[in-house]
Chain A
Amino acid sequence: MTEPRIPIRFNGEAMEVPPGTTVAELLESAAIRTKLVAVEVNLEIVAHEEHVTHQVKTGDTIEVVTLVGGG
């Protein structure tokens, strides 16, 4: 018996995660330092304080951005 998975898009890549996965867990699984990023789910920012409680849902589009060099 396989665990149920839900499809999401994470930084442009299609992937599947267990239901109930939080933003914080998603970032951790991708080895992303949460303090250095901002997270958007379906074009809405998920504030840092909500990373541990916000669960991703089927079909969510998640964007994680950070700072890079720029002028």
Chain B
Amino acid sequence: MQDQLKIGDHTLPTRLIVGSGKYDTLEIMRDSLAASGAKVVTVAVRREKMYDRLGQNILDYIDPREYLLLPNTAGCYNAVDAVRVAKLGREILRALENPGANWVKLEVLGDSKTLLPDPIATIEACKTLVDAGFQVLCYTSDDPIVARRLKEAGATSVMPAGSPIGSGQGILNPNNLRIILEYLKEGDPDYPVIIDAGVGTASDVSVAFELGADGVLLNSAIAHARDPIRMSIAMKHAAIAGREAFLAGRIPRRLYATASSPEEGVITSRPYTSDRPSK
């Protein structure tokens, strides 16, 4: 059976969600998205540039029939703005007949230096958007209590950061993520928890999945890699590797070694008495 990720109404064949920002060219973006194997692509809502000479739009490079778009509220620093931007994104996706019209990546930031989320405004905006019929995927810090509050506020998915947005520091506090996973999945094992932000390289993605995350959302680690298309391929495989390892179940960490070859029938001696096979 295929290992699908269910987020609200949406069932996804792959667990990597990729952003579409910060690419040098829209052509590189298009090819990177394809190479990543992702089906969900995040987009931002911004003022239309009037009388643009080139007349290029990102949707000329992302086929809305092929990808499920996930509009974000990036750049919002209060709940009112975030709700406003979410509704505008929904209106665009509705006209495009993209099924992503019913969900949003909620991001309400505290300040522009850290880009850390404002937890209080995020919870407030989450409630408002849930009431307005949105399936809300909430970007948040790795604080387990805030994560729990967001789930209680009706978030379809809680998306804790591994480390600050665009920092490439990977997963700084795996223990907090373990607690978040334990709390949010208690009695609700399929509740989707997605690690959003901070990924620097492929191993960070694997670690997130090995911890038990249901998905990983990343942008800069691909867009700003020296070779974004190649990094997309790396991320795709890292996601598969981490997820499969999680499902397979890792062995416990032990202080001492355990030989892989049998002790029975050895024809050589051991240097210390305590080394002798017990049997």
Interface on A for B, CB 8 Å cutoff? Answer: 10-13, 30-38, 40, 43, 45, 47-48, 63-71
Contacts and interface: CB of A to CB of B under 8 A. Distances in A.
Given A70-B42, A70-B74, A71-B165, A65 B50 contact: no
Interface string B79-117: 000001001110110111000000000000000000000
B50 A67 contact: no
B47 A64 contact: yes
The 4 closest A-B pairs by CB, nearest first: A70-B44, A71-B19, A71-B219, A38-B91
A38 B88 contact: yes
A61 B96 CA distance: 25
A48 B92 CA distance: 9
A69 B48 contact: no
A66 B19 contact: no
A2 B59 CA distance: 40
Interface string B1-34: 0000000000000000001111100100100000
Contacts of B50: 10-11, 13, 30-32, 64
Given A35-B95, A36-B92, A67 B22 contact: no
Contact of B23 (A32, A38, A63, A69): A69
B20 A45 contact: no
B45 interface: yes
A69 B88 contact: no
A12 B49 CA distance: 11
A37 B91 CA distance: 8
A20 to B, nearest CB: 21
Contacts of A31: 50-52, 55
24 contacts: A30-B50, A31-B52, A33-B55, A35-B95, A36-B57, A37-B48, A38-B89, A43-B84, A48-B91, A48-B94, A64-B50, A66-B46, A67-B57, A67-B92, A68-B43, A68-B58, A70-B19, A70-B20, A70-B21, A70-B43, A70-B72, A70-B219, A71-B219, A71-B220
Interface of B: 19-23, 26, 29, 42-48, 50-52, 55, 57-59, 69, 71-72, 74, 84, 87-89, 91-92, 94-96, 165-166, 197, 217-220
Given A36-B92, A68-B58, A71-B74, A63 B19 contact: no
A34 B42 CA distance: 21
A43 B80 CA distance: 11
Given A67-B71, A71-B219, A11 B57 contact: no
Contacts of B19: 69-71
Nearest to B71: A67
Contacts of A68: 21, 43-46, 58
Contact of B48 (A11, A48, A71): A11
A45 B45 CA distance: 14
A37 B92 contact: yes
